[in-house]
Amino acid sequence: AQSVTQPDIHITVSEGASLELRCNYSYGATPYLFWYVQSPGQGLQLLLKYFSGDTLVQGIKGFEAEFKRSQSSFNLRKPSVHWSDAAEYFCAVGPNQAGTALIFGKGTTLSVSS
């Protein structure tokens, strides 16, 4: 079955420190991978996506993610976290064929300490 796992429910990072949010997926075909961010009470905003090609993808707000097929991972990184990055982050996979929808992980809440 297709699934997405975000092992960390909650992470706290000091402002200016680096960040890595983990995402592992289970998918039967070449995955299409996404990271979204959600501020409290708001919708989801796309940070970045991976379809094919270069396994290191750049996104908005200084985020990047690396696709590692051997590890079934798509971890999100940022070199220096800002207080405004505090939010909930969702990893998603798919769809790989017509008639299916994105599958989301349960999310990681990021807190930023000063």
Question: Do 64 and 73 meet the contact criterion of CB atoms below 8 Å apart?
Answer: no
Task: Please identify, using beta-carbon distances, which residue of 84 and 100 lies nearer to another protein.
Answer: 100
Q: Closest CB to another protein among 14 and 100? A: 100
- Tell which one of 1, 43, 53, 70 touches another protein (CB under 8 A): 43
Q: Is 27 in the site for another protein (CB under 8 A)?
A: no
Q: What are phi and psi of 107, to 5 degrees?
A: 95, 155
CA nearest neighbour of 88 among 36, 46, 47, 29: 36
Check residue 61 for interaction with another protein (CB under 8 A). Answer: no
Strands annotated E in 62-114? 64-68, 73-78, 87-93, 103-104, 108-113
Contact segment (CB under 8 A) with another protein among 18-26, 66-74, 76-84, 100-108 equals: 100-108
Residues near another protein (CB under 8 A): 9, 32, 34, 36, 41-46, 49, 51, 90, 92, 95-102, 104-107
